[in-house]
Chain A
Amino acid sequence: MNSGPQSNCNPCGPLLRVSGLGKEYVLRRPFSRKKVAVSAFQDVSLAIFPGKTLAVVGESGAGKSSLARCIALLERPTTGGIELAGQNLLTLSEKELSRARRKVQMIFQDSASALNPRLTANEIIAEPLLIQGEGTKSQRRERALQLMEQVGLNRASERKRPLEFSGGQRQRIAIARALALGPQLLILDEALSNLDAANQELILKLLAELQAAQALSFLHISHDLRAVSEFADEVAVMYQGRIVEWRSARDLFASPEHSYTRELLASARSVDSILLERSA
């Protein structure tokens, strides 16, 4: 298959290493003995380095979200291993797992459903601290306000509820919440897909700033090749549950190897040219 790109920069080794990961869902039809196994993805091996962004692209249904959820430890993979900073995540005890969770956080596609509509912005952002038992109530509140400023939200709106914010602002809340525990890896599961182009720009800028300031790594799942192209250091292409190509962004865009990658790029370019034609 494909090994990673010739990465030149890292003294510590990858932050996250995934080897041979696979996930199968077993469905049982009601009242029958038959079991159907549906494979979401198989034999996925990837690595993400500190302070770098890995984009995983592919069409809907390719298994990207499932992969994201496994890496975020929201689901258990059927086969393979996940290592975070050298630690095997799949063999941890409950307590160790809880501590490991601080290092990996996820941002969801639909910001409205990712935030509990009954809580205020401050409560939402401070929740990770509450769950992990950090600080007193006022300390948590203060930290949440700091985070709000960091992501570009007005401190004064801390008591508002999610539905009172716009889509872009809600994603900022989600980002602030994800940052609360000082993670090393952020997983963006189609986090920009529900936003309009202007907001996408703004959020991408914010993420880039955060990455530079805190040496964060990003795993960016997307079906939109163009959004990914500016931001990613490395790109992995997923097709029908497998990784078909995994190279540095520059190389991939310049000379794609796999036929599917070429198709993806071609369709993205043709959309671009249609838009260009229209605006001309």
Chain B
Amino acid sequence: MRYLTRRLVHSTLLLFAVSIFAFGILQLAPGDFFTPISLNPQISAHTVAALRSQYGLDQSFPIRYEHWLQSVFRGDFGISFAYGTPVAPLLAVRARNTLLLTGTSLLVAWLLAIPFGIWSAAHRGKWADRAGGILTSSLLTVPDLVLFLALLLMAVRTGWFPTGGMTSAGFDDLAIGGKLDDLALHLVLPCLGLVLTTLPPLVRHVRSAMIEVLEAPFVRAARAHGISERRVLLRYALPVAANPLITLFGYSLAAMLSASLLVEMVLSWPGVGPLLVEAILAKDVYVVVGAVMLSSVFLVAGNLVADAVLFATDPRIRMD
């Protein structure tokens, strides 16, 4: 229990550090949201200065950070200059969409990676494993961007899937079943893209973790006792291999969040990604900080969950 509290404290401190870091970096930027307007000769410098002051852009870094922290505790995370609304509700909607996409993809990717990895490890060296290996290697070498563009191309050329967005035009008029169908249809391509990019490294890691465990003496002893290969794999080897795999979960989450940003842009999925890019181009500072913090929170939370699962399942950690 103390271990988990330690991890929790550590994660919170990490998030604080990240927030200072993100906030700090953005303050280094010359110019701000109102710079383009200030270039307009028709708007007086006085007006611009007043606008800046209204949004607190003329104050020093520590003061702004403090105000931002207050806004975090208040729950609104500051104001979006471009939308004129608090950041939090803006992010919340996008975050929900990104979570839907990332969560589904993560689930599918792991559900595929574990059986594939185990199977490859069990049939190591045989042609099936080698074929699988070639497949994962080939998939690995295709850059994410190219893969997503290819999916988009396929959608455009074949018309089997919608070419973007999360819902169709007449979404609100559909019944619940219809709504789910529509959502699922839009989900297929981005999900497929994410799964294809993150699956190969996952399969490889599962496979190598299993292979390492299968070579351990206790597995050989189990086999010598006449225990069936299937039981050996699933009840003896897998639980031990689970430790590195649970740690891997954290990394796979990070990779997937990064990739989701891109897939959302290419396939127009209304998640945090497009919002972030938009905010960057407009120098909508609080939105950018909010989005970066959100992704960090996802990541840290994911790692915490992994740590907790590890703690619960691996007795070695508890002994520390």
Contact = CB atoms under 8 A, between A and B. Distances in A.
- Consider the complex of A and B and state whether they touch directly, i.e. have CB atoms less than 8 Å apart: yes
B166 to A, nearest CB: 45
A113 B74 CA distance: 61
B173 interface: no
Nearest to B2: A31
A27 to B, nearest CB: 15
A166 to B, nearest CB: 31
Nearest to A29: B320
A30 B6 CA distance: 13
Interface residues of B, number: 2
Interface string B305-320: 0000000000000001
Contacts of B6: 31
Contacts of A30: 320
Nearest to A32: B320
A75 to B, nearest CB: 29
A29 to B, nearest CB: 8
B50 to A, nearest CB: 53
Contacts of B320: 30-31
Contacts of A31: 6, 320
A31 B3 CA distance: 10
A31 B6 CA distance: 10
B10 to A, nearest CB: 11
A34 to B, nearest CB: 13
A150 B181 CA distance: 87
Interface in B1-15: 6
Interface in A198-216: none
Interface in A1-59: 30-31
B215 to A, nearest CB: 25
Interface string A228-268: 00000000000000000000000000000000000000000
Interface in B244-292: none
Nearest to B6: A31
B260 to A, nearest CB: 34
A33 to B, nearest CB: 13
A86 to B, nearest CB: 50
A31 B9 CA distance: 13
A265 B320 CA distance: 43
A31 B317 CA distance: 13
Interface string B2-32: 0000100000000000000000000000000
A30 B320 CA distance: 9
A31 B2 CA distance: 11
A209 B320 CA distance: 54
A31 to B, nearest CB: 7
Interface in A146-190: none
A266 to B, nearest CB: 36
Nearest to A30: B320
B3 to A, nearest CB: 9
B42 to A, nearest CB: 63
A210 B251 CA distance: 59
A227 B6 CA distance: 54
B316 to A, nearest CB: 14
A251 B152 CA distance: 91
A36 to B, nearest CB: 15
B150 to A, nearest CB: 46
A207 B212 CA distance: 46
A5 B6 CA distance: 59
A30 B319 CA distance: 12
Nearest to B3: A31
B11 to A, nearest CB: 15
A31 B4 CA distance: 13
Interface string A80-102: 00000000000000000000000
Interface string B158-184: 000000000000000000000000000
A176 to B, nearest CB: 41
A31 B320 CA distance: 9
A166 B134 CA distance: 42
A167 B153 CA distance: 64
B251 to A, nearest CB: 22
A84 B109 CA distance: 67
B49 to A, nearest CB: 52
A39 to B, nearest CB: 25
Query: Which 3 residue pairs of A and B lie closest in terms of their CB atoms, listed nearest first?
Result: A31-B6, A31-B320, A30-B320
3 contacts: A30-B320, A31-B6, A31-B320
